[in-house]
Amino acid sequence: MSNASSAVCLLVSGLDKSFGATRALSGVSLTVRAGEVHALLGENGAGKSTLLKILAGAQAPDAGTLELAGERYSPDSPQHAQALGVAFVSQEPALCPDLSVAENVLLGSLPGRFGIIDRRARTERASAALRQVLPKDAPLPDLDGRAGDLGQGDRQLLCLARALAQKECRLLILDEPTSTLNSSETARLFEVVRELTKRGIAILYVSHFLEEVERIAQRYTVLRDGAFVASGDIAGTTRSKLVQMMAGRQVEELFPRSARTPGDTVLELSELAGQKLPLAATLRLRRGEVLGIAGLLGSGRSELLRAIFGLDAVKRGSLTVKTLLGPASPARRLAQGVGLLSEDRKREGLAESLTIGDNMTLSKLDALGRWGLVSPRRRADVARAYIEQLGIRAQGPEQRACDLSGGNQQKVCFARLLQHGVDVLLLDEPTRGVDVRSRADLYRIIDDLAARGNAVLLVSSYLPELLGVSDRIAVMVRGKLGPARPTSELSEHDVLLEATG
């Protein structure tokens, strides 16, 4: 059945939503057909998250109507939305970390009677759901193991399995589903998505990676500043046109490259090994350069940065930062001018209940007052400067970090490094969950830092980013770091071929 003749699964008409004086959605309309992948596009702050929360039953609209499969759709809770056939997989995996893998997959629908869980039925149902999102010959994870012990990619796949465990899933909402997946896991996800559409399930797909959208989606809708901009067929629209509709203007050069002059070595590793990962890493990072680290999820890239910064223990090998030999605490690294941007901003990058100003300045308060006191005015002035510099969409320095979109939260994490004045930056997936225009802004900042003599060690799963930003790239394979080579000698194919062993 063609998309043109498919029945409408979701119909959104004239949706409005305001938070005080802030209008998040204004007259938004959307049509998603059964058996199609429909991309929802827009920059951070465009209203995508608010729309998804309404569809998932977490918020109620102020005005407008929703229909699901031709019937009025007005969920009063996420559980109600699930019962009506709407499953939501968020960008940040939502797990109960102390429960088992199986319990998380079947959360809210564990089989049993009189309060006693049927362990056999639990195992069968959880296994069947997980099989749908794992590679064909991949072993199942330990169903009785703690979900909190899984890696980022496995957590996301577990959440997808939970959504598919629902008996009557009509609409599956995927919010940045590949942000924590490697290339093979992404390919598997796309296979799962295609199989679901063959069963008539509608997929609402949110992603900042337009090359992914072109691969998996049939139609799109663009939001900007909370309002509907356009809908159409992916096949008849160019990538540049999509970017222009999202940004409201033409985004210029995505990967700027100023003149860089590599200087003294500020970081040197020799056969460095952590408790588990990495197994062996040798590199030299110089002032005035961006050194990219590529590799598949679980290869040890993040563990390498954590060992350098002092968050993870070093088992053997040598580590020299500037003139200091050997491992050190994170506080000592910051004092040396070394800063880490974690890939997991929810658990390690932000104090979500605190304000934007607090998050930007917590690591360096001495410049904000005297005698151990912090001047709220100075803190607000500093925060406002970074809000403007990084294009953070926020009400002001006193807004809580948890109220920001994922991309704007990432910018706050980046601002803290800049405010601290570090000159050696360890960046772990710095643009994850950040829209096209915001990524361009961050790339300009990275380029400017390198041009001014700062040193950047960049871990990224996004190969165009690594090739566009880095001067040299080293590939991590099963815990071992290969030699760094000039970016001019590499292609995406070369890096991926090396990363897959």
CATH code: domain of residue 282: 3.40.50.300
Which residue has 């005035």 as its token pair?
Answer: 288
The whole-angstrom separation of Cα 476 and Cα 279 is: 10
Residue 430 phi, psi dihedral angles, 5° rounding? -70, -20
In a domain, 90, yes or no: no
Using pLDDT thresholds of 50, 70 and 90, give the confidence band for residue 1: very low
CA distance 479 to 345: 23
Do 269 and 304 lie in one domain? The reply is yes
Same domain flag for 9 and 146: no
pLDDT band at 250 (very low <50, low <70, confident <90, very high): low
Helix (H) or strand (E) run with residue 494 in it: helix 492-499
Q: Is it the case that residue 5 has pLDDT exceeding 60?
A: no
| β-sheet with 281-286: strand ranges across | 281-286, 265-274, 314-321, 324-325
Clarify whether residues 79 and 214 are in a common domain. Answer: yes
Phi-psi region of 27 (alpha: psi -120 to 50; beta: other; left: phi over 0): left
Q: How far apart are CA 123 and CA 466, in angstroms?
A: 41
Average pLDDT in the 462-489 region? 94
- What is residue 252's predicted lDDT score, i.e. its pLDDT? 57
Please say if the pLDDT value at position 34 is more than 80. Answer: yes
> Is the domain of 351 the same as that of 272?
yes
pLDDT over 50 at 29, yes or no:
yes
Residue 428 lies in a domain: yes
Shared domain for 149 and 177, answered yes or no, is no
Is residue 257 in a domain? no
Collapsed DSSP state (helix, strand, coil) of residue 329: coil
Q: Two tokens at 381?
A: 């002035």
pLDDT at 4: 46
| DSSP conformation class of 346 | I
DSSP string, 369-414: -STT---HHHHHHHHHHHHHHHT---S-TTSBGGGS-HHHHHHHHH
Which helix H or strand E contains 167, and what residues bound it? none
Q: What is the mean pLDDT of the chain?
A: 89
Q: Is 480 helix (H, G, I), strand (E, B) or coil?
A: strand
Flag whether 260 is in a domain.
no
- Bridge partners (DSSP) of residue 228 are 223
User: Which residue has better confidence, 45 or 42?
Assistant: 42
153 and 175 belong to one structural domain:
no
Same domain, yes or no: 45 and 55? yes
DSSP state letters, 210-267: HHHHHHH-SEEEEEETTEEEEEEEGGG--HHHHHHHHHSS----SS--------SEEE
Establish if 92 belongs to a structural domain: no
Q: Tokens 């360096």 correspond to what residue?
A: 364
Mean pLDDT to the nearest integer, 121-135 = 84
For residue 290, give the amino acid letter.
V
Q: What's the confidence (pLDDT) of residue 191? A: 86
Domain ends where: 251, 284, 309? Answer: 251
Residues 303 and 404 in one domain: yes
Q: For residue 45, count other CB atoms closer than 10 A to its CB.
A: 23
Report the distance separating Cα 500 and Cα 222, nearest Å: 35
Mark whether 482 and 407 lie in a shared domain: yes
Domain boundary among 221, 251, 281: 251
pLDDT digit string (tens) for 50-96? 999 999 999 999 999 999 999 999 999 998 998 899 999 987 778 88
* Domain extent at residue 135: 97-166
Please say if the pLDDT value at position 322 is more than 90.
yes
Q: Measured between alpha carbons, how far is 368 from 375 in angstroms, rounded to an integer?
A: 6
**Residue 28: CB partners within 8 Å, gap ≥ 6?**
12, 14, 15, 16, 47, 51, 64, 223, 226, 227, 228
Over residues 390-447, the pLDDT tens digits come to 888 899 999 999 988 777 888 899 899 999 999 999 999 998 777 777 788 889 889 9
Helix (H, G, I), strand (E, B) or coil at 63: strand
Q: Which amino acid is at 501?
A: G
Two tokens, residue 366: 């001495």
For residue 151, what pLDDT is reported?
74
Q: 166, 189, 219 — which closes off a domain?
A: 166
Q: Any residues with CB less than 8 A from the CB of 187 and at least 6 apart, and which?
A: none
pLDDT at 249: 64
Asked if residue 91 is part of any domain, the answer here is no
Within a domain: 234? yes
Banded pLDDT at 135 (limits 50, 70, 90): low
Helix (H) or strand (E) holding 201: none
**Domain count of the chain?**
3
Higher pLDDT among residues 497 and 396, named by residue? 396
What's the confidence (pLDDT) of residue 476? 95
CB atoms near residue 409 (< 10 Å) = 25
Residue 220 and residue 232: Cα distance in Å, rounded?
6
Q: For residue 138, is pLDDT > 90? A: no
Amino acid at 296: L
Q: What is the mean pLDDT of residues 31-51?
A: 92
Residue listed under structure tokens 């005080």: 20
| Tokens matching residue 459 | 């871990």
Residue 176 lies in a domain: yes
Residues 191 and 324 grouped into a single domain: no
Question: What is the β-pairing status of strands 455-459 and 290-295?
Answer: parallel
Instruction: Mark whether 106 and 218 lie in a shared domain.
Output: no
Based on the fold, state whether residues 75 and 112 are members of the same structural domain.
no
Lowest pLDDT segment from 31-40, 118-127, 286-295? 118-127
What does the pLDDT look like over 174-222, one tens digit per residue? 998 887 777 777 887 898 899 889 989 999 999 888 888 999 999 999 9
Burial 61-71 (b: 16+ CB within 10 A, else e): beebebbbbee
Q: Which residue has the tokens 């980046």?
A: 414
